[in-house]
Amino acid sequence: MSTFLPFALPDIGDEEIDEVVSALRSGWLTTGPKTRQFEADFKAFVDPSAEALAVNSATAGLHLALEALGVGPGDEVLVPTYTFTASGEVVRYLGADVKFVDVDRRTFNVTAADFEKALSPRTKVLMPVHFAGLACDMDPILALARKHGLKVVEDAAHTLPTTYKSKPIGSLDSDFTIFSFYATKTVPTGEGGMIVTRNPELAKRCKVMRLHGINRDAFDRYTSKAPAWYYEVVAPGFKYNMTDVASSIGIHQLRKAHALRDKRQRMVEAYDEALAHLPLELPPRAPAGDLHAHHLYVVRLTDSRHDRGKVIEAMAEEGVGCSVHFIPCHTQPYWRERYGHKPSDFPNAMANFERAVSLPLYTKMTTTDQQRVVEALTKVLHRLGH
């Protein structure tokens, strides 16, 4: 049998390697010219009228965004339960509370109606999460926020490059959009994230808070006219800056983002066709004319004889790594105990979670690799269906 096919692998070329080597040779290891270039490129990519601020993770970006919006004790941030715990944990860093909401059964995405049901006088921020790279239906969410004077912070960790009504995610009328460059994401740098905002005051606060509450970042410190040793601390900030080694990878991954997405799209079409006859609900597609980033390919089992855990175990025995996105937050011990949730509180999230299997989808996979996944899944579903 051939070797194990992992669930995810980055697609790193010579361009990324050469750029990292150039960063190493330059002597700039931390935030410097490569990060400045990555920020400029990113801004040009999603919205030239926005500011793009690099940080060392999307989690850090979400934290800084909420901090800049003044989220604190007594406030509530509405977060879909069908997400990674990072979306909600940053709310707790600030002493505010998370209020989980359910998601749409078909798309896995939170809707304006889900948010509306959970509004309270304490609600301050709505946090839509664009699951798997498919944009949430943002117009009604933005309208709801406007109507109630709420802020919107998009968790766009899966969403590069995704469009909503032909506009890139990152260019919509929200307060913040936060991207992730974690190793498994569509534009990976190992660790990293990007804050996008069109509000200069909010951008300024994030810039200060991402580096110890110092009012100039490291790059300015070494190039501005003020004496190099001088700086002012205006707040107890964080250590969230991105390194030039990571940004070197990002510069080239971003240039390839559309080509790599196109390749994943073709792989998705191949999966859709090859799996159409199996007892599966295939992933939702983007509306006509819009781009889906295809970060994840999540099928849902439709035959009740198939146990999701057993399917994943059997796939591993066949040499194929699968995963689950996500274990709904409200079922996790910390969140369950803090807010007293029962699994059944969010029925759509639970129904999806219990049937969801994420299949490998990354551009290093060959056609043969994809055929292996299809053959293994066909065999496993057949065997476990009796």
Ligand X SMILES: *Cc1c(COP(=O)(O)O)cnc(C)c1O
Residues of the shown chain interacting with ligand X in the complex, contacts defined by CB under 6 A: 57-59, 83-84, 86-87, 129, 155, 157-158, 180, 182, 193
Shortest Å, Cβ 358 to ligand X: 11
Shortest Å, Cβ 154 to ligand X: 10
The bridge status of strand 76-80 relative to strand 123-126 is parallel
CB closer to ligand X out of 109 and 180: 180
CB closer to ligand X out of 45 and 240: 240
185: annotated active-site residue:
yes
Shortest Å, Cβ 349 to ligand X: 14
CB closer to ligand X out of 32 and 193: 193
Shortest Å, Cβ 229 to ligand X: 33
Q: Which residues pair with 125 in a beta bridge?
A: 77, 151
Shortest Å, Cβ 288 to ligand X: 25
**Catalytic residue from among 147, 185, 204, 239:** 185
Shortest Å, Cβ 139 to ligand X: 21
SS in 3 state form for the chain? CCCCECCCCCCCCHHHHHHHHHHHHHCCCCCCHHHHHHHHHHHHHHCCCCEEEEECCHHHHHHHHHHHCCCCCCCEEEEECCCCCHHHHHHHHCCCEEEEECCCCCCCCCCHHHHHHHCCCCEEEECCECHHHCCCCHHHHHHHHHHHCCEEEEECCCCCCCEECCEECCCCCCCEEEEECECCCCCCCECCEEEEECCHHHHHHHHHHCECCECCCHHHHHHCCCCCCCCCECCCCCECCCCHHHHHHHHHHHHCHHHHHHHHHHHHHHHHHHHCCCCEECCCCCCCCCCCCCCCEEEEECCCCCCHHHHHHHHHHCCECCECCCCCHHHCHHHHHHHCCCHHHCHHHHHHHHHEEEECCCCCCCHHHHHHHHHHHHHHHHHHCC
CB closer to ligand X out of 33 and 190: 190
Shortest Å, Cβ 58 to ligand X: 3
CB closer to ligand X out of 65 and 86: 86
CB closer to ligand X out of 157 and 275: 157
109: CB partners within 8 A, 6+ apart: 80, 103, 128, 129, 130, 131, 134, 135, 136, 137
CB closer to ligand X out of 31 and 87: 87
- Please state, in angstroms and as integers, the Cα–Cα distance from residue 267 to each residue in 9, 35, 181, 220, 359, following that order: 15, 32, 22, 43, 11
* Residues with a known catalytic role: 185
